[in-house]
Structure 1
């Protein structure tokens, strides 16, 4: 009997590890749908629709949290576009700057969205260095493509808007708005829209508290137990973020709506 119990426990542990490994792969390692390497290679000529490149980090990649790029891809309103997902988990402005030619310029895009900086905030990158990196990104896209460009402000970290990290983040968002104005590109007020939603509830949300374990738990609930990203967020006592960084379905819908409205406003030769 004792041996049977040991075998049973070992089987349970093996199943749990396999399930956790599957969730981890789907959330952290799985390639984004329609990445630049597949969509923008020289041989990829069958799809002649104008290309929209969504460039950024994990919030753009959409494998941990809502896939707002995928939502736009399946939106009948935008079936005239090809959406390329150039989001890479963990990327900073310095990382994106290094891959602009391969992941944006090579696509010859008609439009580019940039949502980048959350990891710079988390890493404590000095504001002046963030400003320099972001300006270089925008200028390089402007000079090497004919794309219309939209810079998005960064979502809150955690849902306590008065937490110290969100006071810090406000400085980075001021830089984003400044650079959009200086370079003549469009500014999409993502942070402002999310803040409006969060302030509708009198009590502040939980303060920022991200961990890899928490992110893996969120991925496990979604990929193994079939919970929507909104359900995962609610289970954690939050609304727009599933793990204090990445987007719930509701949070992703805000990004998709802002982007959709922007794309619809572009001149017809950019659609």
Structure 2
């Protein structure tokens, strides 16, 4: 009997090398009936996902999960970030929210035209763990636009941000961490602790006092398992 195919589009939060690998959880839970295709690539924006949408179409997926946009937000938070993403993501223009929604809309439209897949669209996770910080104010604006696309195309919605937000409200800390740029030193530290010392994400998070992120950007096991549970519920709802 052929496997049921689930293609998951996105960035590093989906790829799972710098973030908790929630796809691995799903593959273990649904193996061997379902086959999960990891179509996430570190550092990508919605524009880059759109450029390689044919790869997803060629899979002939039964389900598509889209979690992309964190880098789109990051690219707008400072001039330095903008210049960085223009270079590393090979962007044809300065990114903004309108362009993000345009690219995401085209991704959805193309998938609806070229596949028979059921499509789920996720809200973007928090940036930093201070819900009042400007980075999360901006994330919420993007998520409002995402919800409009969900309604426009009658898609399944994965409320990842909402679940993370509720968790942080239930587990408040005195000085929640704000978003900080993801520098090379922090990435090297994560790789050393998780790949050399074989620490799990929770051990790493404990070093920095973070609750739902590893570095104020990427998911740890708490938030990563939330994503896995949301996708599992989406699949089981059919």
Any gaps of 5 or more consecutive residues in structure 2?
Answer: 77-94
For 1:264 and 1:55, the matched residues in 2 are separated by 19
- Name the TM-score, length of structure 1 as normaliser: 0.78
For 2:101 and 2:53, the matched residues in 1 are separated by 17
Q: Is the 8 A contact 2:72 2:97 kept in 1?
A: no
- Aligned pair count reads 218
RMSD of equivalent CA atoms: 1.2
> What's the CA shift for 1:48?
2.2
Which of 68, 71, 75 is the aligned partner of 1:116?
68
Q: C-alpha offsets along residues 60-116 of structure 1, whole Å, 9 cap, x if unaligned?
A: 0001121100110011x45311111000000100000000002x1000000000000
Which of 189, 202, 209 is the aligned partner of 1:237?
209
- Name the TM-score, length of structure 2 as normaliser: 0.89
The answer for the alignment partner of 1:93 in structure 2 is: 46
For 1:214 and 1:200, the matched residues in 2 are separated by 28
The answer for the alignment partner of 1:68 in structure 2 is: 22
- Give 1 or 2 for the bigger CA radius of gyration: 1
Which of 150, 167, 187 is the aligned partner of 2:157?
187
The answer for the alignment partner of 1:138 in structure 2 is: 108
Any gaps of 5 or more consecutive residues in structure 1?
Answer: 1-46, 267-271
For 2:131 and 2:233, the matched residues in 1 are separated by 26
Q: Is the 8 A contact 2:63 2:117 kept in 1?
A: yes
Which of 11, 26, 33 is the aligned partner of 1:80?
33
For 1:95 and 1:85, the matched residues in 2 are separated by 15
For 1:259 and 1:236, the matched residues in 2 are separated by 28
The answer for the alignment partner of 1:221 in structure 2 is: 193
Question: Which has the higher mean CA deviation after the structures are superposed, 51-60 or 201-210?
Answer: 201-210
What does residue range 1-271 of structure 1 map to in structure 2 within 5 Å?
48-75=2-29, 77=30, 79-102=32-55, 104-124=56-76, 125-203=95-173, 204-209=175-180, 210-266=182-238
For 1:218 and 1:261, the matched residues in 2 are separated by 30
Displacement over 6 Å in runs of 4+? none
For 2:36 and 2:222, the matched residues in 1 are separated by 21
The answer for the alignment partner of 1:26 in structure 2 is: none
For 1:218 and 1:237, the matched residues in 2 are separated by 14
> What's the CA shift for 1:199?
1.0
> What's the CA shift for 1:127?
1.7
